[in-house]
Structure 1
Amino acid sequence: MSRFVHILVLLNFALNVSADKNDWFSTIAGMQNLIDVENNFLSTLESYIERMQMSLDKIKTFKDIMRKDVIPAVSDPEVYIGHPINQYALIKRFALKWSRVGDLLDGYSRKGNETRAQYHDAIKMLPNGDDMIGAAEAIARVQSYYSLNMDDLTNGSVKDVTSPSLLNSKDCFRIGKSAYTNRRFELCEIWMNKSLNLYVEQKEITRDNILSYLKECKKEGVNQTMNINAFLEDKETNEQESSTVGGTTTEQTDNEHSRMITTIEELSELTDKARICNGEWSVPKHVERNLKCYYYTNNGHPRLVLKPIKLEELWNYPHIVRLYDIALESEMEVIKELARPMLLRANGASSDGFGKIKYRISNTAWLDDKDSLSVKRLSQRLADVTGLTGRSELLQVANYGMAGHYIAHFDAMTREEEDYVKSLKDQHTELSNITEDDLFDEESNVGSADNETVGSTTQQPDDRNKNYEYGNTGQRIATALVYLSEVQMGGSTAFFYPKIVAEPIKGSAVFWYNLYPSGALDKRTLHAACPVLIGNKWASNKWFRELGHEFVRKCGVLQNAENRIF
């Protein structure tokens, strides 16, 4: 039984990384620990077979089948877990295959029953049906964003990077169902057709099941397109009639109008984001000729004179730059290790309230300069380069999950959001404590470390970033996005206004101002995180606040005076 104790210890560690037992798909760092757990499951079964000294043919057969799947994972876990089909297969093995082991152990001796009980205690903490849904949505997302060939994908190949795992008819059916649930009917049709092509007689699904969904996908897809076209054609007419009559619309009409606007905006954003993430737009020649690369010292800053920063201009208006080698290799490793046990699923607002969201698939943690010299040095280096030495937030560290992404957003608030937060503060309810971080889809968590020792952090209440609540330190004046890992494919940062992507180059930071010098939001900074295709993406955000920078960025003559860094 000692091996099961070892598994439970591993699970406790893995859960610290995953943060939520039902959200394994949302962090690659957590999923990588599943490989160790899975390998120990296999070793446990081997010991069990020897110890029982009886015929366990069914269990041994199951073990042999699973061993074939696990060998490539154990041989190189980091490479294995970087492939989306492997990620899907790993979740699938735990959610659908390992869950059956308990039934195989029924009917044997008392030791078998004890092992079964311990096994079930462990399996409760591992991937389940909810993770399968998240994994299915991730495969649909990467296929859609990067226009992956369906034949290659189902055969385990993504941009010539292969996986030993394949997608069968049942997998395609599951992915198609997830697309239908999310009202992506064109994707549903693609995956249901593929499920039909791969279909072989089986118990789980029938050909009629597939055909039924395929019919619904086509019908709903046509209806959605017709509704959008009709809505766009009638929108101007309806607005004119409403203003002329002076009447009011019904609540139902308002709700339908709101839903249609949301659908159109979501589909439009998905299209634009996919095109930008795929690099379909290039920097125009007249812009490119004015972009420069050079060594930067921020007007002779003492620390930068000795070691200038390599700076590359990515765009002029708004001014977006990349700072190379801003984080050292040793610092990045310490930061990631400190963040691992504190990672929590990134939450946000949705129609269901505040909680888990599908538009941001990552886990985040917050690190204070006091946690480590590595954190402090990175913060100091960013302050030296930018000249922003006033108030700034803690360092947010993010690890992205399967096809991890984040929809288009601003890092600072719009005027409407500012007014909304202010109104909440005037209410004497539990909502009056809402922070700006709630609106920015972040969930704070805290840890502390006295030195560079990894693993010395401890869990604290979720109010670590409370000092940065709007009204205390002002808006997020600027963003420094630091890439902490190499990402083989995908995972870039897409900027919608210039239609450019910043690739996730390890050790570099992309920097831009969110506000004009006047304090008004620069809406040209709308950006998003492209889905991770191959690899494990780690990144960190350093947000600089208005407080303490009043004399660093003075207002220009015009309200929207150009937003340049130097």
Structure 2
Amino acid sequence: MEANCLRRVILLLLIGWTFCAEETEFYSSTDHMMELLVIERSLIQSLRDFIAAQKQCIDRFNSVVEACENASGDFPEDLEKHISNPFTAYKLVRRLRLEWNMVEQVTKTCSSYIEDFLTNVSLVSQRLPSEKDMDGVALGLVRLQEIYRQLQIITVDVSGQVNVTPLDPDESFRVAMVALQNNKFQYALLWLQETFRQLEDGIPALVTRREVLTYLGPLAFQMGNLPLALELTQQLQELDPSCMQTMVHLAYYRTLRESIRCGSQTQTPSLPSDAPVDILTLIKPASETSYESLCRGEGIKMTPRRQRTLQCRYSTGRGNPRLIYAPIKEEQEWDHPLIIRYHDLVSEREIETIKHLSRSKLDRAKMSDHVTGERFSAETRVAKSAWLADEDNPVISRLTQRMADLTGLDMEAAEMLQVANYGIGGQYEPHFDYKLNNDTDYTTRGGRIATILIYMSDVEVGGSTVFPDIGAALRPYKGSAVLWYNLLQNGEEDARTLHAACPVFVGNKWVANKWVRAHGQEFRRRCSLSQMD
């Protein structure tokens, strides 16, 4: 048993060492979330081993107690007469010496089991998800609902079956609070109503009806449903008649209702109507852009007439010797600006190698401050990324050469390969690639003339790359890559290349980016004198 405990400690140590010494963030990488399943399984097994060891200790304690009770019999009335028997005295001394010495040994052994288990828990607890992870996943759920207009979150099991994943009242309440903290009021209301419904159905939970109603009434009023706010506040007063805040809210709602009914002069256009308002139907926010619509497959501007002009061909990179006998399948995804997809650019084995190389380097992808240039994490970009150089592995250098052969661009000034794994509801909101804030390499290497985006996984639902200004949406296809130019041929920035990565609804999204710099491309992508090119 001691050997098993030692092995368990070593296993958990190894798992803990796979993460960096700093506080680990899990929710921004689906791959790291998968590792949590391994940690949970190891913790469960460790706890089972601990329980089994404790049961053995208890069994040994019970056997000692039974043996001592059987040997000593009933407590004698005449102690002097009883102990004066030399055989009785010998048995008593021997019993106290041996049996209770064994109790001491068993106690020490059991204590060592407890110490081992506490050491395991202490080590692993430093690598367990934090409050930030829990709230990050909750905000990811709300983001998915907001963009894909879904009231329920779905999952896909190993057989491909689509299932609805319910949350218990405590989980739903936590999601509601995160939505409320992030000013997602309608979603906070919907999750609170789901929590309240489950509590009404008798589902056990730590959260109470009173806690839920404390938030529900004011939110219903804020969403414009005065009758519902009044009803919910009345229920809250029945649960807690002494609450002063509830009495104030209730009096205000009643006064407001009477004011609306009587047509009082105090009524203003901003006051809610006395008629019930449908707050269960997801409304389209006024601030919604074409980015969100494109993520849902709405607003795509490719017409059948334009699509007929797009071409597919086998490309040799304009006669590159390395591609003459092994051409690449090329598809025009968009015409203006030109967006090209190369199918089967990366093999399954190469993809796995790239993933393996990047896993130990994955770190939270960050944004740059427009003024100071400081790097910071933001919910506008939920992913982890790693940088791989050509020298890291022959697969990387071969892929770089392949991209150079296809595009005809010089890769000497290109950046290293950036690998990214998106997290729960992982996204990257609309942005440009052509220039970074406070880019120290801009003067020596120029801006990012081209982007080559490699898809290293299929995504069941969501995860598209969309271009809001032109109405384009590109689906991730494993092994393919898309190319577009961020700069016009006259050197000016192409505003049409504003793009975004849609949140991943179902699936695990892996991509790799190769950004090609402008310097060195003068004779490979010739300049244009036209202001339009």
Whether TM-score is above 0.5 comes out as yes
Q: Provide closer, same or farther for how the CA distance between residues 12 and 338 of structure 1 changes in structure 2, counting only shifts above 3 A.
A: same
Structure 1 Cα separation of the partners of residues 521 and 381 of structure 2: 31
Q: Provide closer, same or farther for how the CA distance between residues 219 and 356 of structure 1 changes in structure 2, counting only shifts above 3 A.
A: farther
Q: TM-score, normalised by structure 2?
A: 0.72
Query: Where does residue 189 of structure 2 map in the other structure?
Result: 189
> How large is the Cα RMSD of the aligned pairs?
3.0
Structure 1 Cα separation of the partners of residues 356 and 295 of structure 2: 29
Aligned residues of 1:185 and 1:218 also touching (Cα < 8 A): no
Residue 369 (1) aligns with residue 390 (2): yes
Q: How far has the Cα of 1:26 moved from its partner? A: 0.9
Is the deviation greater in 373-382 or in 292-301? 292-301
Residue 303 (1) aligns with residue 322 (2): yes
- Structure 1 residues 60-459: aligned runs within 5 Å: 109=111, 111-150=113-152, 153=154, 161-162=162-163, 166-199=166-199, 200=202, 204-218=206-220, 270-282=288-300, 283-349=302-368, 354-390=375-411, 391-413=413-435, 435-436=438-439
Structure 2 Cα separation of the partners of residues 298 and 315 of structure 1: 19
Aligned residues of 2:50 and 2:113 also touching (Cα < 8 A): no
Structure 1 Cα separation of the partners of residues 155 and 329 of structure 2: 42
Structure 1 Cα separation of the partners of residues 143 and 443 of structure 2: 38
Aligned residues of 1:22 and 1:130 also touching (Cα < 8 A): no
Structure 1 Cα separation of the partners of residues 174 and 289 of structure 2: 23
Deviation per residue, 1:269-301 (Å, 9 max, x gap) = 754222111112342122111111111122211
Q: How far has the Cα of 1:194 moved from its partner? A: 1.9
Q: Provide closer, same or farther for how the CA distance between residues 153 and 543 of structure 1 changes in structure 2, counting only shifts above 3 A.
A: closer
Structure 2 Cα separation of the partners of residues 269 and 334 of structure 1: 42
Structure 1 Cα separation of the partners of residues 217 and 384 of structure 2: 37
Residue 475 (1) aligns with residue 480 (2): no
SS at match of 1:515: coil
Aligned residues of 1:277 and 1:492 also touching (Cα < 8 A): yes
Q: Provide closer, same or farther for how the CA distance between residues 271 and 153 of structure 1 changes in structure 2, counting only shifts above 3 A.
A: farther
Q: How far has the Cα of 1:112 moved from its partner? A: 1.6
Unaligned runs of 5+ in 2: 59-109, 226-283
Q: How far has the Cα of 1:207 moved from its partner? A: 1.9
SS at match of 1:289: helix
Aligned residues of 1:400 and 1:538 also touching (Cα < 8 A): yes
Query: Where does residue 35 of structure 1 map in the other structure?
Result: 37
Structure 2 Cα separation of the partners of residues 297 and 551 of structure 1: 19
Letter in 2 for 1:395: L
Aligned residues of 1:154 and 1:168 also touching (Cα < 8 A): no
Query: Where does residue 238 of structure 1 map in the other structure?
Result: none
Aligned residues of 1:27 and 1:400 also touching (Cα < 8 A): yes
Structure 2 Cα separation of the partners of residues 349 and 217 of structure 1: 35
Q: TM-score, normalised by structure 1?
A: 0.68
Aligned residues of 2:169 and 2:205 also touching (Cα < 8 A): no
Q: Provide closer, same or farther for how the CA distance between residues 54 and 350 of structure 1 changes in structure 2, counting only shifts above 3 A.
A: farther
Larger Cα-atom Rg: 2
Query: Where does residue 510 of structure 1 map in the other structure?
Result: 482
Q: How far has the Cα of 1:35 moved from its partner? A: 1.6
Q: Provide closer, same or farther for how the CA distance between residues 52 and 160 of structure 1 changes in structure 2, counting only shifts above 3 A.
A: closer
Q: How far has the Cα of 1:44 moved from its partner? A: 1.1
Aligned length: 414
Q: How far has the Cα of 1:533 moved from its partner? A: 1.4
Q: Provide closer, same or farther for how the CA distance between residues 190 and 273 of structure 1 changes in structure 2, counting only shifts above 3 A.
A: farther
Correspondent of 1:536 among 483, 499, 508: 508
Q: Provide closer, same or farther for how the CA distance between residues 329 and 197 of structure 1 changes in structure 2, counting only shifts above 3 A.
A: same
Query: Where does residue 11 of structure 1 map in the other structure?
Result: 16
Aligned residues of 2:170 and 2:205 also touching (Cα < 8 A): no
Unaligned runs of 5+ in 1: 57-107, 224-265, 422-434, 437-467, 562-566
SS at match of 2:515: strand
Structure 1 Cα separation of the partners of residues 484 and 31 of structure 2: 28
Structure 1 Cα separation of the partners of residues 510 and 531 of structure 2: 37
Correspondent of 1:51 among 47, 50, 53: 53
Q: Provide closer, same or farther for how the CA distance between residues 52 and 208 of structure 1 changes in structure 2, counting only shifts above 3 A.
A: closer
SS at match of 2:351: helix
Aligned residues of 1:281 and 1:499 also touching (Cα < 8 A): yes
Q: Provide closer, same or farther for how the CA distance between residues 507 and 371 of structure 1 changes in structure 2, counting only shifts above 3 A.
A: same
SS at match of 1:471: helix
Letter in 1 for 2:290: D
Deviation per residue, 1:33-67 (Å, 9 max, x gap) = 222221111221222122222589xxxxxxxxxxx
Identity %, equivalent residues? 35
Q: How far has the Cα of 1:160 moved from its partner? A: 5.6
Structure 2 Cα separation of the partners of residues 555 and 155 of structure 1: 49
Aligned residues of 2:315 and 2:327 also touching (Cα < 8 A): yes
Aligned residues of 2:9 and 2:116 also touching (Cα < 8 A): no
Structure 2 Cα separation of the partners of residues 557 and 506 of structure 1: 38
Structure 2 Cα separation of the partners of residues 32 and 309 of structure 1: 34
Is the deviation greater in 200-209 or in 335-344? 200-209
Letter in 1 for 2:402: R
Instruction: Return the structure number with greater relative CO, CA threshold 8 A, min gap 6.
Output: 1
Structure 2 Cα separation of the partners of residues 4 and 475 of structure 1: 50
Letter in 1 for 2:294: I
